[in-house]
Structure 1
Amino acid sequence: MQELTKAEFRQIKKVCKKQAEAVITEMYQRYDDIWWRRIRITQSLYDHGEDTVREINRLMPNLLTHQPHISPSDEVAADFGFESEDALIEFLLAYTPRGPMREEVYEGLLAQSLAAYNVQPAPEHSVNANSGGLADIPF
């Protein structure tokens, strides 16, 4: 097993973070495009249920609006290539926050990179079982 210097490890982490950010940007591009355009709340949206509207508002605040110049969900669905308004609603309800997803992608990329160097990721904080759960202190 190969040892990495701290500088090499920091560089690998930096590259993985940039790659993770690029992957997340690509993964969430469609959500971003829809969010910037917004969706007007209409009766057809409420036909999916008030709980659905509430959940979309919770997942993606400020996506839904009553502004009259904003397109309703059926038009947004057509403009973004969804098969139906239902498919758009399902897509919006499947949204997961970026932070946890970014961390998951980063950790996967880091594990792949370290595997390429035949190195295991070191835990961030070392805990000694004999010290009652306190971290080892080098002094």
Structure 2
Amino acid sequence: MPLQMSRRWNYRRLNALQTRDRIAGLGWSVQRFAFVYGVPLQRVRDWISGKEDIPHLVGLILRLLKLPGARTVAYEYALSVAEATERQAAFVADVERRRLAGEFDDQWESEPGVLIEEEAIPTRGNG
């Protein structure tokens, strides 16, 4: 018999503006965040437009991603577990080549505070 919790926890959640600003503060596009977090791009867009409630763990992940080196580790991990479509395979191969060449540290990311709307990030269901 599975363990059942006797009560549900209530969490303060980020609002749409806070979420958008924190993603931008990483120097990441919404596509990159969606890819790393493992959700469809449209879901993140719905979060930052206020159309959908934002899970409380988004705030935790965004906070952890501010730690030195965390963005690189998170992105490399997502690349290692994502199943690329044929269209995305060339992109993944290029990223792996760059990783092996030592190009991946927090220096390769865009300037903090810049929200890049579009980039070629492999995302699930977006082949």
Which structure dedicates a bigger proportion of its chain to helix?
1
Same fold (TM over 0.5): no
Q: TM-score normalised to the size of structure 1?
A: 0.23
Q: TM-score normalised to the size of structure 2?
A: 0.24
The structure with higher relative contact order (CA 8 Å, sep 6+) is: 2
